[in-house]
Amino acid sequence: MSTMPLISEAARDCIISIEVGPDKVKYSVYKSVLMHYSKYFHNSLGGSWKEAANNMIQITDIDPSIFNIFVNWLYRQALPVSLEDWVITAELTKLSSNLLPTQLCNMLKMKTYVFADRFQVPALRKALQREIASPNIDCAPSFDMIIYAFENLREGDPILLFLVDSTCMFWNPFQSSNEEKAMLSRLPHDYLAMAFTRYGRLVMTQWGNAPRKLGDVCQYHEHESVDEKQACERAQQGSQTALVLTNTGWHVCS
Amino acid sequence: MIAGRGRQRIRPPRRSVAGDDVDFEQTWTKISAAFTEIHTKNASRLSYEELYRLAYRVVLKKKGDELYKRVRQFEHNWLSTEVRSAIQALFSPNLLANTQGLGGTTANERRVAGERFLKGLKQAWTDHQVCMSMLADVLMYMDRVYCQDVRRLSIYTTAMLLFRDDILNSNTSEIDSRVVLALLNTVILDQIQMERDGDVIDKHLIKSCVYMLESLYDDEMESEDQRLYNVSFEHEFLATSSEFYRHESEFLLRDSDAGAYCKHASRRIYEEDERCRSTLAESTMPKIRKVVEDELIKNRIHELVEMESGVRFMIDNDRLDELNLIYDLNARVDDRKTELTRAIQKRIVDMGTDINNAAIAASQATPAAPAPEAGDKAKGPNQEKSLNQQTVAAIKWVEDVLQLKDKFDHIWKDSFQSDHSLQTAVTRSFADFINSPTFPRSSEYISLFIDENMKKGIKGKTEMEVDAVLDKAIILLRYVQDKDLFERYYKKHLCRRLLMNKSVSNEVEKQMISKMKIELGNNFTLKLEAMFKDMTISEELTSGFKKHVEGLGDKDPKRIELGINVLTSMTWPLESMGSGDDDENKRPKCNFPMALDRIKRGFEKYYNEKHSGRQLTWLANMGSADIKAVFPKVAQKDGSFKERRHDLNVSTYGMIILLLFNELPADQYMTFEEIHAQTNIPRNDLMRNLQSLAVAPKTRILIKEPMTKDVKSTDKFYFNEGFNGKFVKIRVGVVSTGNKVESDRERRETEKKNDDSRGFCIEAAVVRIMKQRKELAHQQLVLETLNQLAAQFKPEVTMIKKRIESLIEREYLERIEGARVDSYRYLA
């Protein structure tokens, strides 16, 4: 995108009515600003379509709170800063959602990212990529967000990879809530496939081609008594140094 | 793989498989319906948001591939049914007939049919582009996500290729296997041909079709040279143009003159350039230009130049514009302009040779020309006259050459844009004929021309005009190869001008010298300048001597005044001043009368006081004297009876002869032999002086017996008491005092002298080179010698060889024994 259009200049131009969401919340936005930042609006308002003829666009399947964030970004060329900012900008009250503030905020970011992807706003999309995949991330993304993202972004979008990686890195199965465990079954297949691949890769980058070995194989044997287990372990003696898989992760055994 | 190998394939669970499929078909139905609306120009009823959302959803659901295929199929169907039939409807029988090469249609009918077809095709193309850009807008998410990920061409590009395949490469009809593209080419070429024939065509329309061909590619790589325009149209265009211009040039060469041909050719080149700009593509410009240049110029330039109305005709008739055209044409195809240069050079040499021949003819025709009335006259004057004629011929030669030079300068400047290489060629040609071995006189002629102008030519001219004349002479001098020969002649002519006071202006003489200095360098003018110096010193000597004599004592009314020129013998070409009979070594010593002898000795004494050790040699044959003569009262033819006084200007010899008669009674005579015995004037000079004193009617101061033209040794001479001149002052001219063309004998002598001095120059050069190099191969020595002498003259190689031989004999050089190539060593 070239330099930002002057608002004064845009103000002399046409205003477009946009009706957003199932309740048709009405917005009036400068046409030239819209067309400048979004290829979608550029095509829609620049071609010989109904929208261009009527100076009116209906977008029913978008949440007005997301459109709020978009319009604010459009005129300010900046995203909200704090968690509160995000909520305020989206014109939501904390009460209106049962999510934690962090989760709510992350969800808003993700939805806005999907919006930017769909309506082809490259500048906004880039800004959000930096916002979402920031180096300060220290916890796994919520399953809600993962499900939403995998349904609404194209295969190969880098943010999807980010979601997989950050889960692999930070998700702690011992601390997950029951709710979360219940959602495990709903995780998208694409996500799981990517996670599986990613996990394999992590192992490879961590250990390379060093010889590996499963740890206590007796856990798969259903030994009925301690004696039987000990007998089995004796039979296994002589095994060399190897990587050992325990219940809690990889350890080096000698 | 784990359970039941090969028995049952475990398929990945696909969520709501059936639901999605139904979803896609429904979506596609909606999308395709909308696309049909777009193609039928009803887009304004459609919602972009709706269509975009549908396509977006489909792609998100990983159906991009399916969508892409469906769109492609949709466009393929649309083009090969709707559009193709619309195009086929444009083929009128006229159009098809014409492109099959059948006659029977007028140009106008063809043009109308062609334009209809072009318009229809252009319309179909434009519509396709507009629709496809709308489709591409709708399918933008697919383009960005799907096409980029799997590296497919964008839907727009794909659709353009479909137009190529389904429309341009489709058959014109079921029964006609030619494709639309071929028809398009033929129609455009036909239109262009119409324009070449003078019709007006719709350039804009053709240009839009060309744009179409330029934006479509033959392959998938989309490289510049694979554009349909290049692959299909341009190729044919160049081929047919080549054919057309080949025929046209043939026709033109046969039916029109060279000037018209040139005008036509440059107009055609301009037209084709214009056509590329307005009708076709600029990228074609250099290619078609080459075709036209090849067919109209390169392959024809020789014929064109050689035509009857070709370069020769243009030169002879001063067709400067046409020459400019032909120059321009030749320069287009050949940087060196070979053909034109050749023709120009040939013309210059031809015209120059004509001038040379005319000069030779004029100089040879003269003996016959002065006609029978000179029959009884003596041989002497006759020869004089012929020499005069030759001088006139010489001056005419120079003027003709200058005129030729002017002519070609003019052509060069106005028609050849002051082209450098042509200037060199012109110069070389001038040098060629001026130095032609069949015409050895140019050096002499040029010097004579200057001589003529110095003597009278510049009288009454402004400084500017004088300058122009001198410059012209210098220009010619530039061409002359044998500068040494010119120097010899110039010295000789200058010598006479100075000694005989023939020069109009000393100032101009000096100007000329300084011009030569600039042109030929210091060395060349050194001796000429020394001559001027001698003259100045002589003036001082004369006035000094006069003062000296006045200081000696009483004024003697009968005193003889002496004007003297002391000439350095090495500088002045004195031998050429002599009559040429006598051996140089025994310079004629004539007997001076007592009065003269006294003053001569007086001067010698005076001079020796100033410069001791110098020997003065008196050259009586070069001096002149003013005598006051009194003729006694005798009866005249007109009956008057009085004394007459005349101031006679005679040569020194003439004076000596006349003084003899002072002491002789009027009725007595002296024979030739007696005069010779008393004066010791060389016979030849004596004969000529007597001739002018006793034979020439206006200066007949002596009477000769018998009265014949020739002077014989037995003739007797009397003082002519009855002499009566019309003027008080009478000049007794001695024949051959002015500068004239040399006779053949003189020329041979001059050349011999020149060759001698060349010999010295060559030897000097060889010694200089060898002194520096010590040892050198023969070939190289010759080469370096030629280089060193180039500014003076061009020696013959045989002469150089002879000089080397001579140097070896005199032990300046020796041959190196056993050297691989002939080589010499310098002997210090």
Q: The domain containing residue B430 runs over which residues?
A: 343-350+398-533
Choose one of B503, B533, B563: the last residue of a domain.
B533
Total residue count of chain B as it appears in this document: 828
**B786 at the A interface (CB within 8 A)?**
no
CB-CB under 8 Å, B149 with A49: no
**A50 at the B interface (CB within 8 A)?**
yes
The pLDDT value given to residue B87? 85
Which residues of chain A neighbour B47 with C-beta distances below 8 Å? Answer: 49-51, 58
**Nearest-CA distance B62 → chain A (Å):** 8
Same domain, B797 and B695: no
CB-CB under 8 Å, B137 with A154: no
CB-CB under 8 Å, A44 with B43: no
Same domain, B31 and B146: yes
What tokens were used for A219? 């856990």
The pLDDT value given to residue B588? 56
Sheet holding B644-651, edge to edge: B624-631, B644-651, B729-731
The pLDDT value given to residue B11? 43
Q: Which residue has the higher pLDDT, B105 or B496?
A: B496
Which residues of chain B neighbour A57 with C-beta distances below 8 Å? Answer: 49
> In this model, does residue B9 exceed pLDDT 50?
no
Same domain, B726 and B755: no
Say if residues B779 and B823 touch (Cβ distance below 8 Å): no
- The predicted complex's ipTM stands at 0.86
Same domain, B799 and B714: no
Chain A: residue nearest B136 by CA? A43
Query: Closest to A57 (Cβ–Cβ): which among B49, B62, B145?
Result: B49
Which residues of chain B neighbour A49 with C-beta distances below 8 Å? Answer: 43-44, 46-48
pLDDT tens per residue, range A35-94: 999 999 999 998 889 998 899 999 998 999 999 999 999 998 999 988 888 888 888 875
Phi, psi of B688 (to 5 degrees): -70, -40
Which residues of chain B neighbour A52 with C-beta distances below 8 Å? Answer: 48
CB-CB under 8 Å, A43 with B45: no
The pLDDT value given to residue B579? 43
Q: What angle do CA B229, B233, B239 make, to 5 degrees?
A: 135
Which residues of chain B neighbour A58 with C-beta distances below 8 Å? Answer: 47, 49
The rounded distance, in Å, linking the Cα atoms of B646 and B648 is 6
Total domain count, chain B: 5
* Domain spans in chain A, listed from the N-terminal domain onward: 212-254
Same domain, B727 and B754: no
Choose one of B518, B533, B548: the last residue of a domain.
B533
> In this model, does residue B711 exceed pLDDT 60?
yes
- Per DSSP, the three-state class of B775 is strand
Determine what percent of chain B is predicted with pLDDT higher than 70.
Answer: 87
Which residues of chain A neighbour B141 with C-beta distances below 8 Å? Answer: 118, 120
> In this model, does residue B771 exceed pLDDT 90?
no
**Which positions ≥6 away from A5 have C-beta within 8 Å?**
A32, A33, A36
pLDDT tens per residue, range B39-77: 988 888 889 999 999 999 999 888 888 999 999 999 999
Chain B: residue nearest A121 by CA? B141
> In this model, does residue B368 exceed pLDDT 70?
no
* Three-state secondary structure readout of B149-216: HCCCCCHHHHHHHHHHHHHHCCECCCCCCCEHHHHHHHHHHHHHHHHHCCCCCCHHHHHHHHHHHHHC
pLDDT tens per residue, range B591-628: 777 778 888 888 888 888 887 777 777 777 777 788 88
Q: Which amino acid is at B617?
A: T
**Which positions ≥6 away from B178 have C-beta within 8 Å?**
B99, B171, B172
Same domain, B672 and B801: no
What's chain B's average pLDDT? 80
CB-CB under 8 Å, B56 with A49: no
| Domain harbouring B818, CATH code | 1.10.10.10
Same domain, B173 and B310: no
The rounded distance, in Å, linking the Cα atoms of B577 and B591 is 20
**B60 at the A interface (CB within 8 A)?**
yes
**A185 at the B interface (CB within 8 A)?**
no
Same domain, B51 and B192: yes
Least confident range of A172-181, B181-190, B457-466, B793-802: B457-466
- HSE of B58, CA atoms in CB hemisphere, 13 A: 33
| Domain harbouring B652, CATH code | 3.30.230.130
CB-CB under 8 Å, B47 with A50: yes
The pLDDT value given to residue A234? 81
Which residues of chain B neighbour A154 with C-beta distances below 8 Å? Answer: 59-60, 145, 149
**Nearest-CA distance A206 → chain B (Å):** 29
CB-CB under 8 Å, B141 with A118: yes
Say if residues B323 and B305 touch (Cβ distance below 8 Å): no
Chain A: residue nearest B45 by CA? A50
Query: Closest to B134 (Cβ–Cβ): which among A47, A58, A151?
Result: A47
Which residues of chain B neighbour A120 with C-beta distances below 8 Å? Answer: 140-141, 144
Same domain, B404 and B323: no
Same domain, B784 and B750: yes
A interface test, pick of B15, B38, B46, B47 with most A CB neighbours within 10 Å: B47
Confidence of residue B574 (pLDDT cuts 50, 70, 90): low
**B134 at the A interface (CB within 8 A)?**
yes
**B548 assigned to some structural domain:** no
Confidence of residue B577 (pLDDT cuts 50, 70, 90): low
The pLDDT value given to residue B779? 86
**A53 at the B interface (CB within 8 A)?**
yes
The pLDDT value given to residue A73? 94
The pLDDT value given to residue B148? 83
pTM equals 0.66
**B140 at the A interface (CB within 8 A)?**
yes
Tell me how crowded residue A60 is: count the other CB atoms within 10 A of its CB. 13
> In this model, does residue B478 exceed pLDDT 90?
no
**Nearest-CA distance A119 → chain B (Å):** 9
B interface test, pick of A35, A48, A157 with most B CB neighbours within 10 Å: A48
Rg (CA), chain B: 49
CB-CB under 8 Å, B144 with A57: no
- HSE of B297, CA atoms in CB hemisphere, 13 A: 28
Chain B: residue nearest A154 by CA? B60
**Nearest-CA distance A227 → chain B (Å):** 32
CB-CB under 8 Å, B141 with A120: yes
**B540 assigned to some structural domain:** no
Which residues of chain B neighbour A61 with C-beta distances below 8 Å? Answer: 53
The pLDDT value given to residue B104? 55
| Domain harbouring B73, CATH code | 1.20.1310.10
**B376 assigned to some structural domain:** no
**A57 at the B interface (CB within 8 A)?**
yes
**Inter-CA distances, A197 with A193, A202, B105, B668, Å:** 6, 9, 74, 152
pLDDT tens per residue, range B165-214: 888 888 877 667 778 888 888 889 988 988 888 888 888 999 999 999 88
Same domain, B679 and B756: no
Residues of chain A with pLDDT under 50: 1, 240-243, 246-247, 251-254
What tokens were used for B379? 């041989």
**B364 assigned to some structural domain:** no
Same domain, B37 and B182: yes
CB-CB under 8 Å, A51 with B140: no
**A222 at the B interface (CB within 8 A)?**
no
**B321 assigned to some structural domain:** yes
Pairs of CB atoms within 8 A across A/B: 57
What tokens were used for A228? 């039987």
A interface test, pick of B137, B151, B154, B156 with most A CB neighbours within 10 Å: B137
Query: Closest to A50 (Cβ–Cβ): which among B12, B15, B46?
Result: B46
Mean pLDDT over B114-137 rounds to 91
